[in-house]
Amino acid sequence: MTETIERLRVELGDRAYDILVGPRLIECGGREMLPLLRRRQAVVVSDEIVAGHYLAPLRDSLSAAGITHHTVLVPRGEETKDLRHFGRLAEDILGIGIERGTMLVALGGGVVGDLTGFAAATLLRGVDFVQIPTTLLAQVDSSVGGKTGINTSTGKNLIGAFYQPRLVLADTSVLASLPRRELLAGYAEIVKYGLIRDAEFFAWLEAEGHQVCALDAEPLRRAVLTSCAMKAEIVAGDEREEGDRALLNFGHTFGHALETETGFGSRLLHGEAVALGMVLATDFAAKLGLVAAADALRVRRHLESCGLPTRLSEIGLQGIPADRLLSHMSKDKKVRDGRITLILPRRIGEAFVMKDAPIEKLRDFLTVAA
């Protein structure tokens, strides 16, 4: 390949791993995985749509590297991240006859990555896995950091494990096949990094974000690399979310509540929920006097200009009772002693953890927002 491949490192001691970012990485997936294998056997997990595009070149690369491979397909969509589908996936993988040296390979977006990672963490008490994220959201966020999990009717990702991959291959050439809505959902997570940690990056996104979403090569490369580098640095310093890693949940407590309310389906994509969640978090911080109203307006205007939802009415939740959203938020993983934890901004580029959000003020805010 003549294209430039960038290599980042997630520094976690003996569990450290590389993130490769660049075009056509799927075509050399077998070569990159080979040194990591304890047994020359891989099980590729994908969904029907992604498999139709990218399974053949991945299988060719595995065969070229002398790696025996099998494939398990799962249905597409967030609805697949539940106990029923996970149980079926586990049985299908075990039915192949895997050993602890077998490598699982997640070829797909965040749903496939989360399911496969959780399978790797639990089957045979732990097998290795590789992430090959095929959506922008998965490339810049969910494939890095080792969070795996599935949803329940109570809330999002309430069953799962911290379990790191051995390698992440972010093939930027696959992004051209994504629907516009999926691209924008991933872009919301890119914006998140600027808002929590890098004001200059957010300002750059205000100027160049439309080029990122248009998949212009250089802006896209910078956005993906910057996001992955930031995620890698945060995870290396706080793998199990006991400190700064919690900042990566900016917008997610509100967003997960919205996903729960809308049923984890195509009505509201995860990135769309995060976008709206970031607006709600910033507006709430402005209401509390913690962030300037001008900063809150910048956040709303930028996400709005990109075509992401910034109001509850846009997702059909106008007039929803505040207590209904509060009930969803109270079941979030970050709740401690019954108190809702929020990630809120102090200014663009700096966020903090509020461990005991004022419930009455939050209820009043949600009542008005709805």
Give the H/E segment covering residue 129: strand 128-133
Length of the chain: 370
Give the H/E segment covering residue 351: strand 350-354
Q: Rounded to whole angstroms, how far apart are CA atoms 230 and 236?
A: 10
CA 53, chain centre distance (Å): 21
Site of tokens 């009542």: 367
Q: Rounded to whole angstroms, how far apart are CA atoms 123 and 337?
A: 32
Sign, CA dihedral 127-130-135-138, equals: positive
Q: Which residues are catalytic?
A: 125, 147, 189, 231, 241, 245, 249, 252, 256, 270
The backbone torsions φ and ψ at residue 25, rounded to the nearest 5 degrees and listed phi first, read -70, -30
Number of H helices, E strands in the chain: 13, 11
Which residues, at least 6 apart from 159, have a Cβ–Cβ distance to it below 8 Å?
A: 83, 118, 149, 150, 151, 152
Classified as helix, coil or strand, 23 is coil
Pairing of strands 41-47, 68-74: parallel
How many other β-carbons are positioned within 10 Å of the β-carbon of residue 77? 15
Longest dimension (CA), the chain: 61
Specify whether the CB–CB gap between 170 and 143 falls below 8 A.
yes
Please tell me what DSSP assigns to residue 101.
T
Please give the structure tokens belonging to residue 253: 């407590």
Q: Rounded to whole angstroms, how far apart are CA atoms 30 and 59?
A: 8
